[in-house]
Amino acid sequence: MNALKITTTKYSKAHAACAAWRKQTQSAGQADYAARAAYFAAQLAEARKGVDADAITALISETNGRCKRNTITLFSEVWALAIEAETKLERAGVPLKLRTGAVYQFRQAGPANSYKGQMNVSDITMVRVSDGWRLKSYSVASVFPRASEIRVLTVSADARRAIVQQAMQGFALAV
């Protein structure tokens, strides 16, 4: 399967711009929420340019088949997962150049109860490249009741060192 593009770096910039604008309007005592929402929506629309949402939606529909319940059915859900992965890397302090090669795997949890035993859920794997995330694979997996949700972000050794360095900042090692 060809990797399908999901750009998130523009989203991070749009989100930062909106946060700065929100802080500015709050400090000035202005609470124009409608204008702020419109500005944020425009920034997100700009961030989604160049993303092949139709191809990803078609892939999801084709792979799901008749499975509609408990599976991902919309492109926006896949995009939200890509943003979640990018946010995790950003919060961990991983520089942009070390994010390349990261792999994010997501599989939904099993049901609390299931009379028929197994349930079909979405299983997604995305890979981080220089300009955003690529959908590497999308499949429907069968899980048993009470199966755990999987959200695993795998990073390179250099990215791991950056995460540890960021986490240990301000601490000294006792000898």
Range of the domain at 110: 4-167
What is the reported pLDDT for 128?
A: 92
What's the one-letter identity of residue 7?
T
What's the one-letter identity of residue 40?
F
User: Averaged over 32-40, what is the pLDDT?
Assistant: 60
C-alpha–C-alpha distance, residues 84 and 104, integer Å? 10
User: Averaged over 2-31, what is the pLDDT?
Assistant: 56
Residues 6+ apart with CB under 8 A from 23: none
What is the reported pLDDT for 160?
A: 93
Do 6 and 47 contact (CB within 8 A), yes or no? Answer: no
Is 134 among the domain residues?
Answer: yes
**Residue 54 binned pLDDT confidence (cut-offs 50, 70, 90):** confident
- Mean of all residue pLDDT scores within the chain: 78
Is 105 among the domain residues?
Answer: yes
Is 108 among the domain residues?
Answer: yes
Is 36 among the domain residues?
Answer: yes
User: Per-residue DSSP letters for 46-58?
Assistant: HHTTT--HHHHHH
